[in-house]
Amino acid sequence: DAKTTQPPSMDCAEGRAANLPCNHSTISGNEYVYWYRQIHSQGPQYIIHGLKNNETNEMASLIITEDRKSSTLILPHATLRDTAVYYCIVRAYMYSGGGADGLTFGKGTHLIIQP
């Protein structure tokens, strides 16, 4: 799986858009970009994923650059409840299995929403 690089922490004002960057310069053609978040003391929560095209759901938007070497997760109107650690994960959709069949969660970005 390709490695990802995220800033360790970011601040955002409540009500503004939070833009979380992720670099994945070694991403392969069959690898998707996934985003999860973990609110303090809770289990991680799936947010969104994409391959090439930009994606949007009820929680967020995912913008992937044309060369696919980086992406941005956008929370359009951040609230205090969006304070969490956000994980960017790159993973092939069809996994061949064998010993490490799981997602690789790095240290993520600690997003703090300021009132």
Binding stretches for another protein (CB under 8 A): 32, 34, 36, 41-46, 49, 87, 89, 91, 93-95, 97, 99-108
Bridge partner list, 31? 92
- Strand ranges for 5-81 from DSSP E: 9-13, 18-23, 31-38, 45-50, 55-56, 61-64, 70-75
Q: Is 30 helix (H, G, I), strand (E, B) or coil?
A: coil
Least CB distance from residue 75 to another protein, whole Å? 19
Q: Name which of 87 and 113 has its Cβ closer to another protein.
A: 87
Least CB distance from residue 45 to another protein, whole Å? 7
For residues 87 and 92, what is the distance between their CA atoms, to the nearest angstrom? 16
Q: Name which of 7 and 15 has its Cβ closer to another protein.
A: 7
Least CB distance from residue 15 to another protein, whole Å? 28
Q: Name which of 37 and 113 has its Cβ closer to another protein.
A: 37
Residue recorded with tokens 């992937």: 64
